[in-house]
Structure 1
Amino acid sequence: MLTLRSFEQRDWPSVWSILEPAFRAGETYAFPPQISEAEAHEAWVEVPAATFVACAPGGAVLGTYFLKPNQPGLGSHVCNCGYVVAPEAQGKGVAYAMCEHSQREAVGRGFRAMQFNLVVSTNERAVRLWKKLGFTVVGTLPRAFRHARLGFVDAFVMYKELIA
């Protein structure tokens, strides 16, 4: 059974081992592929309001996500999340579980909606999952993502109201 819990600093080596190849690939996240470990730690752990890990029964970290306000001040009631799953755990429900967990966490922290700012259109698995979980594409950003293999591709802004 998958366990979702708050990130602890001892998790960082495992989290970095999941983030690094995803960021280096340049196919799903806008972080620079050459991002340093310290810069990734700041962006994934220090800046967000909270960071979580998804763990296998034996404790191995299979995925991670962060939760933060999407905007400051008058837009701070809408949150933003980022999710990454270890390659060996992809397609096994980890992202689904993290997204459901993040929605509960968001409501518990007073957020009224969740917005994904840059969902790469070619990341079909993620787009399909977010739609399955009730997110809607509210905008298409033409050629807004510089994909490492495909060049400039569209990105979606996806949104879900959590509290009516």
Structure 2
Amino acid sequence: MQVREFRESDWPQVWAIVREVVRARDTFTYDPEMSESDGRATWVEAAPGRTVVAVDGARVLGTAKMGANRPGPGDHVSTASFMVAADARGRGVGTELLRDATAWARAAGFAGMQFNAVAESNRTAVALYERHGFRVVGTVPGAFAHPALGRVGLHIMYLEF
């Protein structure tokens, strides 16, 4: 597996992952009915932000986007989002994408990385982030409407560099 910069030719496979994850409604707060053009506008970051893919040969297994969490006085803190194809989960794809994103943010001079909305029910992601030094700094109760669990909290997670 290799993590590399997103290429235009990756978009069909990236869109398939984004569509699959968003329509599942169990991890991301994005509109599950988003169009492909809205998905592209949401996921593909313009410089100085960055979008990457984790590939095995020609197959895209997962993708990440990253950049400043906020503009202006908040631009010293980065953020990132990660999506992995359902049939590629449990194979270390998310770990490699997270390592790439935090290495990029450190090299770019950010003071830390903040995740704004991690569903507390997404235990796999929360555990991954915590293993890599992130901590929950707050939870908005009932802010995420999970399709099976009802309203669950959204964690704000942070890693200081």
TM-score by structure 1 length? Answer: 0.94
Structure-2 separation of matches of 1:88 and 1:109:
32
Alpha-carbon deviations, 1:23-65, whole Å to 9, x = none? 0111100001101110010010045711000001x22110000
Change (3 A) 1:130 1:40: same
How many residues of Structure 1 are paired with residues of Structure 2 in the alignment? Answer: 160
| C-alpha contact 2:79 2:113 (8 A) present in aligned 1 | yes
Structure-2 separation of matches of 1:85 and 1:113:
23
- Equivalent residue number for residue 52 of structure 1: 52
Alpha-carbon deviations, 1:129-155, whole Å to 9, x = none? 110111000001100111122221111
In the alignment, structure 1 segments of 5+ residues that lack a partner are none
Structure-2 separation of matches of 1:117 and 1:47:
20
Structure-2 separation of matches of 1:38 and 1:109:
29
Is 1:90 aligned to residue 89 of structure 2? yes
Counterpart amino acid of 1:51?
A: T
* 1:108 shift after superposition: 1.7
Q: Which runs of structure 2 are paired with 1:56-95 in the superposition (5 Å)?
A: 56=56, 58-95=57-94
Stretches (4+) displaced over 3 A:
none
Aligned-residue sequence identity (percent) comes to 41
Structure-1 separation of matches of 2:37 and 2:100:
27
- Report the RMSD for the aligned CA atoms in angstroms: 1.1
Structure-1 separation of matches of 2:46 and 2:123:
28
Counterpart amino acid of 2:76?
A: H
- Equivalent residue number for residue 143 of structure 1: 142
Structure-2 separation of matches of 1:93 and 1:60:
15
TM-score by structure 2 length? Answer: 0.96
- Equivalent residue number for residue 29 of structure 2: 30
Structure-1 separation of matches of 2:157 and 2:46:
22
Structure-2 separation of matches of 1:132 and 1:94:
15
Structure-1 separation of matches of 2:8 and 2:111:
29
